[in-house]
Amino acid sequence: MRFTLRSERLREACRKKSLQVLTGKAKEDGRLNQTQKEQADNQKKQQAKEQEQTQNKKVLDQKEQWFVSAKKADFKAIGKKFGIDPVTARIIRNRDIIGDEAIAAYLACTREELHDPHLLKDADQGAAILQQKIAEHKKIRVIGDYDIDGVNASYILLTGLSRCGAAADHVIPDRVRDGYGINCSMITKALEDRIDTIVTCDNGISAIEEIAFAKESGMTVIITDHHEVPFSVDDDGQKAYKVPPADAVINPKQPDCTYPYKGLCGAAVAWKLIQVLYGRMGICAEESFSMIAHVGFATVGDVMELTGENRMLVKLGLKAIHETENPGLLALILQNGLQREQIRSWHFGFVLGPCINASGRLDTAKRSLQLLMEPTLEKASQLARELVELNDRRKSLTLEGLEQAREQIVQQRIYEDKVMVVYLPQCHESLAGIIAGRIREQYHRPIFVLTDAEDGGVKGSGRSIEAYSMYEEMTKCDALMTKYGGHPMAAGLSMPKENMEQFRRELNAKTSLTDEDFIEKIHIDVPMPLYYIRIPLIREFACLEPYGKGNEKPVFAVRDVHPLRADIVGKNKNVTRLLLEDGAGGSMDAVYFGDPEAFRIFLCEKSSEEQAAALFRGQPQNIRFSITYDPSIDAYQGRERVQVVIRHYC
């Protein structure tokens, strides 16, 4: 009995032990399966990364060609006449600024160089209509856009109309619900609200049917826009432009508009109209310049070319923002850890601008407009803090979408297409343009990023290269799209989902792009040895600012530099620091903010792994390579010294 009981207990203990073993094994198997799954996922990601790196290397191997700009002039004579270094004179000549008058205007960049707003077609007519409507106490509604240009243009129109005593309000479309620009539901709502006059800004030139509906409904419509005027092409290749039937259409890109400069942003066009209106209302023209900071902000933020009048507007805008008392602008600057005196065009484009755009992307652009119009710094600070937080969230979502796009491009071999079309169904549609821009930079070819829309179709944004006029190319397959518009370098569109593949095929079949167009051209302004760089010269280069599209930072180059030592620094070990000598008596500190590993591989392939290792140990070696660079002033503990920032190497 005792034996039987002991046996039963033994069997029970064994059963429990077996169960524990089996359970443990199952758990271990589960852990192994999970580990194996993670390993497989990691291996898949690693393979995709290696594929991308291989493809990127192929792209990099052929995507850059270096050229020295060799435009002729007597640089010494120009330098002597204008009190600048011959190097600065050469850079100005490379920007096609020719003749004493043009050089003086480029260097001075004063208000007197701005074009007369009355030269804009329909500006006088539009201002006359507004003057009459204000006198009759008619309700006016401003309909803007949800990006930085549309928000600032709305601010300018509302501020200007208010100063003139107008009964004006505003509507900004919701990016997801309404899409881009004015639509029929907005017009219907305006009729319900007893609005008499609609003024568009940064939109309207493509809204032919919508404007026709407003006019048929008895409304007055004034369009202020800067986008391309829609057109069709006949069998002979002639363009037939289609202008909406508004009471006034103010857009310098109209073929019959004689305004001298065609590249204004939407906010600048709106500002020009307000200037004309102020003149009719007897308001001093000086008052309009209280909004010039917003014009400059929008010009950079909307990536307009900083040539001609645009460069003047941005330079004047930067000067104004250094003294601004606008609570919204001040709060946004402070929330980004800056002071107003520090703001440069770079901050417009890459720090402040993305915060304004973030609300239109992930929330509502009304919040950004509210910030600009807010009269108290306390409330403005709260709004600015919310916009900065939204922008941080936008950055995170952008990185996710960018990673998905890169994987798709490699796995589906999309990089073999001359015009790339990427479909990211889960991506927030507002991020498509940003992702397209990043991919365009990487592959240097036109790209459209499409994502699912609420109506069951797809929406998307495109970013282009200089050799491909995106809007014009889209007109060749307009039957596939329900709506589209934009510039040569950027565009937006909507289409039925089933048309995506046909859209990709037609874009590629109808393009005339060649392999040569995909090779990025690096134009070197001045081959300049390191010994020539001096702090006074670097300070003098400030006269060339503001920098941006069309007026890029000057590119300097030096051949066959010899690195004496190198090391990887920074919190994330993502910066390469070097000491360079150029063989002409100059040696200088240098930093490179690009991929340190790619740079190390380049050095190994250029010489050998042993030579590269010696360099990073500070030991003698025979490495030589050429660089393009920015000269800069490094200030540390009150001491200033010159260093160069490496941009490209070969």
For the stretch 266-309, pLDDT in tens is 999 999 999 999 999 999 999 999 999 999 999 999 989 999 99
Torsion of CA 157, 163, 169, 174, to 10 degrees: 30
Banded model confidence at residue 340, pLDDT cuts 50, 70, 90: very high
> Which tokens belong to 300?
């950079």
- The mean pLDDT value for 176-201 works out to 92
The residue behind tokens 């640089």 is: 75
What is the predicted pLDDT for the residue at 61? 47
% of the chain beyond a pLDDT of 70: 90
Please write the tens of the pLDDT for every residue from 14-59: 444 444 443 454 445 555 455 566 666 666 555 555 554 444 444 4
In a 13 Å sphere around the CA of 607, the CA atoms on its Cβ side amount to 17
Sign of CA dihedral 355, 356, 357, 361: positive
Question: pLDDT digits over 110-148, tens only?
Answer: 898 899 999 999 999 999 999 999 999 999 999 999 899
Using CB atoms within 10 A of its CB, is residue 447 exposed (0-12), middle (13-18) or buried (19+)?
buried
The band of 178, judged by pLDDT with boundaries at 50, 70 and 90, is confident
State the sign of the Cα–Cα–Cα–Cα dihedral 90, 96, 101, 105: negative
Q: Is the pLDDT of residue 196 over 70?
A: yes
Q: What pLDDT score was predicted for residue 44? A: 58
Indicate the pTM of the whole model.
0.82
- State the pLDDT at residue 23: 46
pLDDT band at 5 (very low <50, low <70, confident <90, very high): very low
Mean pLDDT of the chain: 89
Q: How confident is the model at residue 428, as a pLDDT?
A: 87
Three-class SS state of 647: strand
Q: Which of 364, 391, 367 is nearest to 379 (CA)?
A: 367
